[in-house]
A and B are shown apart, each in its own frame.
Chain A
Amino acid sequence: DTGVSQDPRHKITKRGQNVTFRCDPISEHNRLYWYRQTLGQGPEFLTYFQNEAQLEKSRLLSDRFSAERPKGSFSTLEIQRTEQGDSAMYLCASSPQRGGPADTQYFGPGTRLTVL
């Protein structure tokens, strides 16, 4: 079984540009999560999907951020009009509903965003 994959692994962009990241969860995992990790910190929750439904968005997710999971499989995270403060590692995770133990979340390798 392949793990969670994310693309691209690294992204360098100029302030004001739009960027989009993709996450492919473990097959048959119906729960998908996005987290953001800044330097020296642990990951912080951004948003959560169960199948194609986005069930929660953190207050960290400003109006410039949008996430989709149109067919309940892969997900995209778009950041519009990037700012230098958006520079971070964006981590995607997936979990099976009622899996074990206690619906463990399995993470991808992350996309490191640098905004110049």
Chain B
Amino acid sequence: AQKITQTQPGMFVQEKEAVTLDCTYDTSDQSYGLFWYKQPSSGEMIFLIYQGSYDEQNATEGRYSLNFQKARKSANLVISASQLGDSAMYFCAMRRHSGGSNYKLTFGKGTLLTVNP
């Protein structure tokens, strides 16, 4: 079974500062994908960034980067130059790439990020 742990229920950051949201995972699979989604108060889950377990480079998408440490089973999200619009819930998720149920996402409980002006 796969498990995602997000230990930070809430985080605060000043506008224009960088912030790291923690995510650790547990799986016995060798091939898997890690995802981060943003959920504003409106409810929609917005895809941010993806990291494959065999990717040698850490993923980056604009102001988002993923600090992937495979041996530690961690996939932390780094948001640079925070903006007020970044205030939202952030979810880490994973999906196995092969075997049974290799299409469903397993989510953590999320971290509520608040960006202060």
Contact = CB atoms under 8 A, between A and B. Distances in A.
Interface of A: 31, 33, 35, 40-45, 48, 56, 89, 91, 93, 95, 101-110, 112
Contacts, number: 61
Interface residues of B, number: 25
A56 B33 contact: no
A107 B103 contact: no
Given A101-B52, A109-B43, A48 B104 contact: yes
A102 B106 CA distance: 15
Interface of B: 4, 33, 35, 37, 42-47, 50, 52, 91, 93, 95, 97, 101, 103-110
A56 B93 CA distance: 19
Nearest to A109: B44
Given A45-B104, A102-B33, 19 more contacts: A31-B103, A40-B109, A42-B4, A42-B107, A42-B108, A42-B110, A43-B45, A44-B107, A56-B101, A56-B103, A95-B103, A101-B33, A101-B50, A102-B50, A102-B97, A103-B95, A105-B105, A107-B37, A112-B43
